[in-house]
Structure 1
Amino acid sequence: MSCTTILVGKKASYDGSTIIARDDDSGSGRYDPKKFVVVAPQEQPRHYRSVLSHVEIDLPDNPCRYSIVPNVLPNRGILAEAGVNERNVAMSATETIAVNERVLAADPLVVLQPADEADGKPEVPGGIGEEDIITLILPYVSTAREGVKRLAELLETYGTYESNGIIISDVDEIWYVETIGGHHWIARRVPDDKCAIIPNQLGIDYFDFDDAFSDAREFMCSA
């Protein structure tokens, strides 16, 4: 089964809980086993380097304790996939999506460019992606809204090499973020009395720019 996201607002659930879920697909004919890991603050890196894109990022000195469910094999980096921190912020990353050629022409993906010794060109790192997102965000936020803002800062600073849907929730709110091109993004708060089921495609089909550029109660986006 391909990745599928399920989001349930607190007034749509039986007990008033916000509920988020996502299955993580494996490649054809392959199964990627997972493990459960608790990351203590002293175990969180202060300087991060991605395995896939080689992007390097200095991280804050005040991470909190959090749990993740990464792949057992580390060949593609941490790939945390899902997690919850000690402040009850939860994340799942990512729901793979795609955008069209016109979008990519306006805002290209930030892809790793290997060094070319013959021409003397140094390596140019790529942006962040599924491998990195939870590790870079979850230990540093206290609310889902803070998580969206931190993800936004990372996307706008370093870019991304893929288009993704990302879930960030707390006890009150669920936010769904979609990356559009290399640096642009949109986010919508799941209404409390609604549910959403999102497959591998763009899922935000209505967007209120007036709200996003003013109070940001239900919508947020890049400039």
Structure 2
Amino acid sequence: MSSMKKTKRSVLDICLALMAGGLFSACLHIPNAPGDDPKITSVEVLVKQFDETKESPLKINSDEDAELIALVNPHKYKDDVKYYWYKGDDVLGEGMTYAISTDDMASSKKIKKNIPDKLVIKDREKNSLETTFQIIINVPPQISADTKPADGDTLYGNTHTPFQFSWKSSDRDENGHLSHILEIDGIRYNVGELQQVSQSGFTEGRHTYRILVEDSLGDKDSIPEQEFFVIDTLGAP
């Protein structure tokens, strides 16, 4: 942290006098003037959204308002400093927290001017400390409720009959490939980017399944557990 320059001429004069007398070693460590040492040693930015506070990565779901929180160390001095939120060289706001609305995160804005990338704090002695950061804005993927088999469907066949499972998922951000998991009767199958799978080996009776999707940034969506029934037609004409 930078600090206000304070004169130490009197101390230096004493040292020069001691040097003349061959006692320079006594002045090798000149103490700092009061107020020169910063009380706060570090500062970081946290994200709060959905009543959760996250440290890293600073990722925000664009469907919900969020808040940036400044965290200083030692924490006991948090009220002794002023906080300034910047976008580049422009000050966006002051205070320990900074609110980000869904309008600020609108995907139509190529440059999100109201989202900070730097925090600067200053104490009463004009010491300052800053940190830069990047806010990741992401729209979670979605799975359509229109899946196959539909909830409550009855399927006819036997353990050798392949039944088709299909669904539709999408990602408004298009940040990367979507990865899917098909969970059947509690067992998970990683099916990658596929949105249609054929599976056999079902015994007669009730079965359950659901689909989970995850984007490249770790955001997820899923459908509630669905049930379907198999009637064994082995030996039927």
Bin the TM-score by the shorter chain. Answer: under 0.3
- Larger radius of gyration between Structure 1 and Structure 2: 2
Return the TM-score normalized by structure 1: 0.20
- The structure in which a higher percent of residues are strand is 2
Task: With the length of structure 2 as denominator, give the TM-score of the two structures.
Answer: 0.19
Q: Report 1 or 2 for greater relative contact order, CA contacts < 8 Å, sequence distance ≥ 6.
A: 1
